[in-house]
Amino acid sequence: MIIRKNKKTVQKTLIYGYGNPGRQDDGLGVAFSELAESWLKENKLQHIAVDSNYQLNIEDAANISEYDLVIFADATKEEISSFTCTRVVPSPEVSFTMHAVTPAFVLDLCSKIYHKLPQTFLIHIKGYEWELKEGLTKQGNQNLTASFEFCKKCINNPEELSHFL
CB 26, CB 126: distance < 8 Å: no
| Domain coordinates in residue numbering, the chain | 2-164
Task: Of 163, 2, 5, 6, give the one whose Cα is nearest residue 85.
Answer: 163
- Rounded Cα distance, 98 and 83, in Å: 26
Amino acid at 131: E
Q: Which residues are within 8 A (CB) of 46 and not within 5 positions of it... i.e. 6 or more apart?
A: none
Q: What is the pLDDT along the chain (165 residues), one digit of tens a residue?
A: 444 444 456 789 999 999 999 999 999 999 999 999 999 999 999 999 999 999 999 999 999 999 999 999 999 999 999 999 999 999 998 764 445 799 999 999 999 999 999 999 999 999 999 999 999 999 999 999 999 999 999 988 877 776 665
Angle at 83 between CA 79 and CA 85, to 5 degrees: 110
pLDDT value of residue 5: 46
pTM score over 0.85: yes
| Domain 2-164 sits in CATH 3.40.710.10 | no
